[in-house]
Amino acid sequence: MQAFSNERGLPIVEAMIRTIQDNKTHLSEIDGMIGDGDHGTNMNKGFTLCEERLQAMDASFLEGLQVLGDILFSEIGGSMGPIYGTIFMEMAGAVKTPSRIDEHAFLAMLEAGIAGLDEIIEAKVGDKTLMDVLLPARDAFSGAVRDGKDFRQALDDMVQACVAGRDATVGMVARFGRSSRLGERSRGVLDAGAASCCLLLQAMAKGINELLEDV
């Protein structure tokens, strides 16, 4: 069985922060096509605040996610604060401070993050939002686990589903958020939230991969 140490898992959160910082301009550009062009700025503000907060502490993976969630909750308004804030807070609270996180624990975290969203948003697959990445990712990961694949393989499946989900948003008409006002005109470009969600899950998978140990 494969797992990673919660205690030494902070690099995963740091990788997530870095990918948002590195793609700030790119994300805003995508948002600019059919939204108001601030998605990169919004995300970067929250993730960078998190980076600063983490520097002053010696956090575990779950604590890192909790800090990220807290900061999005308290510092980022609009829609990204509550959506990503909920995902990360719920993920952080899903498992009771285990020393090691295996694929079952990680699946429980994904499930909890999505369950939390249920209370605040309505978007489903096909609505051109970050749910087009998040839900297929969870499905791919849980399918792999059900099929007996190992953590590493399940993460690979998840990343593949993320990319496919993100790219599928190009052909969709936005039904939630700012770009939904454009109706048909929203078709033809990526959804910004889907793009950031894909980046975050990719960074998470890569970060976990690097820390995975056979136990």
Partner 1 sequence: MQRIINRPDYVVEDMLKGFLKAHSDLVVATSNSRVVRAVGDTEGRVGVVTGGGSGHKPAFIGYLGRGMVDAVAVGEVFSSPTAGAFLDAFREANGGKGVACLYGNYSGDNMNVKLAMKMAKREGIEIRTVVANDDVASAPKGQSEKRRGVAGEILMWKVGGAKAASGATLDEVIAVAQKAIDQTKSIGIGLSPCTLPAVGHPNFEIQEGTMEVGIGHHGEPGIAVHTLESANVMAEKMLDVILPDQPFSEGDEVAVLVSGLGATPVMELYILFGEVEEKLKEKGIRISRSYVGNYFTSLEMMGVTLTLMKLDDELKACLDAEADTVGLKSFPGKHSV
Would you tell me which residues interact with Mg ion (CB under 5 A)? 31, 35-36, 38-39
Check residue 154 for interaction with ligand ADP (CB under 6 A).
Answer: no
Rounded Cα distance, 3 and 214, in Å: 7
Check residue 177 for interaction with ligand ADP (CB under 6 A).
Answer: yes
Q: Which of 50, 133, 176, 186 touches partner 1 by CB under 8 A?
A: 176
36-67 as b/e: b if 16+ CB within 10 A = ebbbbebbbbbbebbbebbeeeebbbbbbbbb
Name which of residues 185 to 204 contact ligand ADP (CB under 6 A): 191-194
Measured from the CB of residue 71, what is the shortest distance to partner 1 in angstroms? 9
3-state secondary structure of 186: helix
Rounded Cα distance, 160 and 198, in Å: 10
Check residue 2 for interaction with ligand ADP (CB under 6 A).
Answer: no
Measured from the CB of residue 116, what is the shortest distance to partner 1 in angstroms? 9
Look at residue 111 and give the partner it binds from partner 1, ligand ADP, Mg ion, none, a contact being a CB closer than 5 to 8 Å depending on partner kind: none
Q: Which of 1, 57, 120, 215 touches partner 1 by CB under 8 A?
A: 120
Q: Which of 121, 131, 137, 203 touches partner 1 by CB under 8 A?
A: 121
Rounded Cα distance, 107 and 84, in Å: 17
Check residue 25 for interaction with partner 1 (CB under 8 A).
Answer: no
- Residue with the two structure tokens 């690979």: 156
Cβ pair 203, 15 in contact under 8 A: yes
